[in-house]
């Protein structure tokens, strides 16, 4: 690929411009040093359990009291939550994100003026899931058992909030990706609404299924990616690793389970392929770049879906054009990124 192209991501419908010649600019990918601070005083390290809010869950292989040592993974409420918990707030139910009550411009009522400044409480739950008692700053530094335990912890905590409209798990690694703590951890948001990006994917999955007589959108995308091989990085018995067709930024990765499962917390697998993805990035760049990771799982009301894990390394900056238009410019086509990562893995 030498000339710019416009591509549409199959799952989101969003457009991205691929501009490969811009990757030849000086310092196209510059990774800042990320020294790991001294663990002294880190509230996520073992022995500092009293420095966090009281835990809501922990995996203790040898048993033990809550808020004590001996844990392998641990979940606590976020100390600075964006959501407030209100166990008594059930009256309004789940909000799909498109209801008239939530959007004054969609109201069907003609008897009154729309309230253009309406609000509602941000009710939900927000947790921090600490991946390991060891003071490490990235998932890439976990061994296979620790990484499997971390992914299992995501599933346990997502399942605990199964009544939410959407449960979103994210990982931010590095200051460039928005991490406020170095110690490796995930964040969980139990939301009372379905965000537009997730609703868009839900609707596209449903539309594709109806148009094709029952086929799965991501299942068909995966089958074609495996057949073509250009953007396939790795595959095992559980999942495949691809650089998505409509990648909006360099070296985006998507982990797709080979068996279609709607909810991540009801599914299985993915941890081994996540380890492969992190190893490939580390080999390609000399260390794991700052990155954002998120689990895309079915909203509560989705009848058909296909969970996946997306990884977006922070190698470039979204500038004015991207912010103004919502259209990303990707300087490193996914075919080139996948080839680099296969080479990094020795495949």
Residue 61: which CATH number? 3.30.428.10
Would residue 115 count as lying in a domain? no
Structure tokens at 257: 């389970």
Would residue 261 count as lying in a domain? yes
User: What does the alpha-carbon distance between residue 319 and residue 119 come to, in Å, rounded to a whole number?
Assistant: 30
Would residue 223 count as lying in a domain? yes
Would residue 270 count as lying in a domain? yes
Specify whether the CB–CB gap between 97 and 195 falls below 8 A.
Answer: yes
Residue 34 has pLDDT above 70, yes or no: no
pLDDT single digits (tens) 296-335: 999 998 989 999 999 999 999 889 999 999 999 999 999 9
pLDDT at 190 (0 to 100): 96
Specify whether the CB–CB gap between 139 and 150 falls below 8 A.
Answer: yes
**Based on the structure, what is the number of domains in the chain?**
1
Specify whether the CB–CB gap between 33 and 264 falls below 8 A.
Answer: no
User: What does the alpha-carbon distance between residue 302 and residue 123 come to, in Å, rounded to a whole number?
Assistant: 21
Would residue 50 count as lying in a domain? yes
Specify whether the CB–CB gap between 216 and 306 falls below 8 A.
Answer: yes
Domain with 76 in it: 1-96+124-347
Would residue 102 count as lying in a domain? no
User: What does the alpha-carbon distance between residue 247 and residue 341 come to, in Å, rounded to a whole number?
Assistant: 15
User: Could you give the angle at the alpha carbon of 289 between the alpha carbons of 285 and 292, nearest 5°?
Assistant: 140
Would residue 55 count as lying in a domain? yes
Would residue 62 count as lying in a domain? yes
pLDDT single digits (tens) 101-156: 455 556 555 566 777 888 888 999 999 999 999 999 999 999 999 999 999 999 99
């Amino acid at each position: 690929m030498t000339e710019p192209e416009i591509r549409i991501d199959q799952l989101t419908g969003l457009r991205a411009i691929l501009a490969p010649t811009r990757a030849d600019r000086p310092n196209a990918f510059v990774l800042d040093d990320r020294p790991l601070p001294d663990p002294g005083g880190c509230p996520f390290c073992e022995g500092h359990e009293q420095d966090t809010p009281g835990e809501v869950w922990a995996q203790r292989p040898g048993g033990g009291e809550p808020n004590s040592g001996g844990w392998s993974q641990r979940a606590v409420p976020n100390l600075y939550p964006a959501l407030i918990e209100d166990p008594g707030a059930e009256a309004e139910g789940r909000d799909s994100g498109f209801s008239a009550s939530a959007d004054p411009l969609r109201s069907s009522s003609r008897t009154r003026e729309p309230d253009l400044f309406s609000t509602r409480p941000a009710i939900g739950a927000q947790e921090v899931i600490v991946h390991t008692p060891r003071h490490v700053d990235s998932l890439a530094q976990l061994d296979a058992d620790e990484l499997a335990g971390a992914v299992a912890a995501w599933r346990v905590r997502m399942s605990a909030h199964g009544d939410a409209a959407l449960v979103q798990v994210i990982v931010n690694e590095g200051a460039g990706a928005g991490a406020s703590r170095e110690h490796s951890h995930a964040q969980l948001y139990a939301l009372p609404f379905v965000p537009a990006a997730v609703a868009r994917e839900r609707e596209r999955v449903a539309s594709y299924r109806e148009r094709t007589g029952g086929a799965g959108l991501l299942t068909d995308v995966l089958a074609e990616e495996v057949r073509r091989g250009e953007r396939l990085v790795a595959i095992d018995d559980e999942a495949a690793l691809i650089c998505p067709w409509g990648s909006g930024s360099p070296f985006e990765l998507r982990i797709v389970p080979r068996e279609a499962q709607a909810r991540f917390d009801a599914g299985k697998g993915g941890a081994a392929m996540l380890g492969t993805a992190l190893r490939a990035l580390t080999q390609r760049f000399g260390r794991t770049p700052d990155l954002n990771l998120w689990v895309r799982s079915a909203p509560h009301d989705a009848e058909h879906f296909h969970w996946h894990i997306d990884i977006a390394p922070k190698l470039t900056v979204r500038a004015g054009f991207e912010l103004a238009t919502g259209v990303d410019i990707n300087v490193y086509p996914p075919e080139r990124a996948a080839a680099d990562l296969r080479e990094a893995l020795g495949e």
